[in-house]
Chain A
Amino acid sequence: MKNKLSLIILFIFLSFCFIVFYKGLNNSNTYTPKIMNKKNIPIFKAKDFNSNTYTTSEKVFEQNSYYIVNIWASWCIPCRKEHSLLMELSKNQSVKLIGLNYRDNLKNAKKFINELGNPYSQILIDNNGTLSVEFGAYGVPETYLIDKNKKIIEKFVGPINHEIVKKIKAIVK
């Protein structure tokens, strides 16, 4: 009787281990932070890309409009890939694009914009990456959609694609 009970306990324990490891095998081992929906935009002070003067988050997001914050850099290859889609989005009157130039060389960044076009209504400089951390970013490119209540409602990690553009257009129309 005692042996039988030990066997049952051992069986349950081994089954538990098997399930845990089996589930673990199917899980992705790369962690992507959860999309922090409906979070307030961070309060910050940053340098403007063109004027090189300081501006604040209140000034940047002062209009009653949807905003897209796109984190980009001239050295980032996927940023080049998504740029045409950002140009397309910039034609939409219901949304304003704000660029966050991440850990970049100003000269190269200006060359990038001159070469591919400027989809942004304003570009902010994030020399040390701390502003991007305030948004919850951990790489480039990343794109955030901000609603009229100044809350982050969508976060897209990696380059945006046609489906994402369609989704954004559906939200802001």
Chain B
Amino acid sequence: MKTLKILLIIFLFIGFAELKSDEKNDNLKNKILKNIRCLICQGQSVYDSESDFALSIKLIVDNKINEGSSEDQIYRFLREKYGNWIIYEPELNKNTYILWLSPLLIFLLGGAMMYKKVSIK
């Protein structure tokens, strides 16, 4: 009876761990799919789209996660196939420096202007 109880606890523990891992994979999958642009219904993410293309991408992302690919590796794969535009969040490169740095520059400029005004007063 005692052995049965221990076995039951072990099985429950394994089942719970697997459930946790599935949940983690699902969260990662949804995060990635929400960041991929559907090339058929442009303006919609793959997560929201039901086009054939989106369904194929969903399957590919799922397979890659199950194979153990990281988020970056999946983005790299998609960029290689379809270019940077397929990812909503652009990566930092020579074409996107202005995009990434301009908010920071505007923030610093605004801060400097405010500081100057306060100092004058």
Contacts and interface: CB of A to CB of B under 8 A. Distances in A.
Nearest to A29: B42
A-side binding surface: helix, strand, loop or mixed? loop
Contact of B83 (A34, A128, A130, A132): A34
Contacts of A36: 80-81
Contacts of A134: 81
Contacts of B80: 36, 39
Contacts of A29: 42
Contacts of B56: 103, 128-130, 132-133
A128 B37 CA distance: 19
A30 B53 contact: no
A33 interface: yes
Interface string A24-58: 00000111011010010000000000000000000
B52 interface: yes
A44 B32 CA distance: 24
B81 A136 contact: yes
B83 A129 contact: no
A57 B112 CA distance: 60
B82 interface: yes
Contact of B85 (A31, A102, A133): A31
Nearest to A131: B56
B60 interface: yes
B52 A103 contact: yes
A33 B59 contact: no
Contact of B82 (A30, A128, A129, A136): A136
Interface of A: 29-31, 33-34, 36, 39, 102-103, 128-130, 132-134, 136, 138-139
A-B CB proximity, top 10 nearest: A129-B56, A136-B81, A138-B39, A33-B82, A138-B53, A34-B83, A33-B83, A133-B56, A31-B85, A130-B60
